[in-house]
Structure 1
Amino acid sequence: MRSTPTSRAAAMAEIEVFDLDQHLEDWANAGGSEREKSNRHTLVKGLNQIGIDYEKDMIVVNGPLSIDLPALKTLPDNLHIKGDLSLTNCTDFEKIPKNLKVDGDLKINFNDKLKEIPKDMNVAGKVTFSHCRRFETIPNKYTFNGPLFVLKCNNLKELPEKMTVKGYCSIIECMQLTHLSKKELTVEGDLHTMDCLRLANFPEKMNIGGDINLENCRAIQVFPESIKKLGPVPEGKQLFARQVNIKGTNIPFREEQRLVNNPPYGLKLLVGISDRKVDATVVMNDGEEFDTILAHLDRFPKDDIFIQYKDHKGQVVKGIDAGGLSRQAFSRAVPCSKC
């Protein structure tokens, strides 16, 4: 039976045609402030210049996308980037959109609002969070499909109970980090947690594909049992000694020497004083505490700091505190002429 013109028109009316241009225009106009609306319209213009399509309920961006829009708070939902996605100096960016898919790397640098990543975020390459002041949550049982690099995210206190990284994992100068995953951490490459001054707790089970660097993790006083159990690194049919760097930790000297002389099976220990400089370190002379600390906090008001003193020869001696101001620093201070 052939359809009549009337029935064909009715059927066509029932088919919803997605207007991508109108959808993005509506999204841009939904910004909370005029500044955010302006940033959203700038982004939409940039998307159109790169080239966009609508496929399988996803907004497809046909190339890499680099964003530097301070008032932008989020991106459109269901976004598929065919390349890298970089958000730099997007200080107000507070929410990763639903169903974000990135075929390349994801970089989020210098951000003040983003707290978490969603479970449905799918990034094929390396994920970087650098100087993200409020970033604190990775979903439990989350899998990173490539390397993970986290730098100076000082609100990150712990990793989820279980987490997998299909590449190397570097977490550097995250001053509030106290725990890695409590139950299980899987990293297919090297694990680096340098200069995390409060890190002292490790998972019950660790699966690490390469070497481990714990340099300058000054809260570590005991060599982690889960690392002792790892053994050598397998490469093909061969086994190679796994290098574990514990320089600059607070593992006692005698214990370090015992580990070097009688290392756990398959491990090679690097011990001693670290020559790495921690950016959070404040070096001062006796009697200059007020001016030195105030100058640092004026520049970095949210930072934890590690205090070190110079001796009478001007050489830096061992630090007296990790992760915050100590009573010793105040007891050694002298009255300030500016007070």
Structure 2
Amino acid sequence: MQSKKPFILRLSLATCCAAACWLGATSAQAALPHPVLWSSAQMTSADLRVEHLTPASYRTRFTASATVQSPASLLRSLSALDAARSRLKVAQSGLQLAAMQAQRDQGLFEAGQNVALAEVQQAQAAAEQARAEVDSARAAVDVARAQLTAQLGTALASQLSRQTALRQTILNGSELIVDLTLPPGRALPQTAQVELHIPGSQRTVHARVIGPAAAASSQLQGWREVLIAPAAPGLMPGLELVAEVQSARAQSGVRLPSSSVVWTDAEAVVFVATSSEGKARHFTARKVSTAWPLHGGYVQPGWGAVDVVTRGAGLVLTPPPKPHALPALGGDDD
């Protein structure tokens, strides 16, 4: 008789997988509080406030730290790269001449001309030596380019390799390299505009963004970007200054006041209010992002108009209170 154990084992495994998926889905759904219904009297008793919030246009704006970099190390790295490239060109020219000589001697030897086999072998050896010198020179260029990239980051190193004018303006001091460190958890907005505040004055200098810096920092250190700024009085290598960063384009979203945001199970949520019978309200938790703080609140990009509990939001996490009895109206004592 055929055993049923394999079938039972397969069934058990399938049951366990299904149970695990169900538990995972249940725990994910349980991360948010369940919707609750509050009557008008309960909201009045708890002094809840519900506001109708509408989307508006906002620009991301925050401050960051910046440091003016010295061009000395850049000059050394660029000089090393230029020297390696020059050596490569010389080696390539030598290889071309050696290869032509080896080909000529080989042809004359095969045609029975006055060329000995030893001369052919010597020319071929010279061509191989020239080819090895080209490989060595190319490796030196790769090393110099890698050192430049490690120092400046891919974005700036690439532009310096392609734009001779940019190299010249940095080397002659008419433009400066600035290292921008964003606050932890912040990312640079698309089409960002950066203004550098010169210490001890009211003047600012506009800097253009080149790209990520050499060391992509962690969330604890803050992301780093490379800027190019025009030389100005007061800007000097090693100077630390404050940078104001803002997005060039406005983005539509709803700004939630901080009083509306509560934390539950490590999630930031607000309670969205929807009408029910009478003046009662359903309160449903909705996850929010705190990545864009603005004016004592948090902007939620892409949100439409919404009714949100803006006062007493933490009370919605607790059972609805019993309405207080209204005081009796005083009558005549006579």
Q: TM-score range by the shorter chain?
A: under 0.3
Bigger radius of gyration, 1 or 2? Answer: 2
TM-score by length of 1: 0.21
Instruction: Name which structure has the greater RCO, CA cutoff 8 Å, separation 6+.
Output: 2
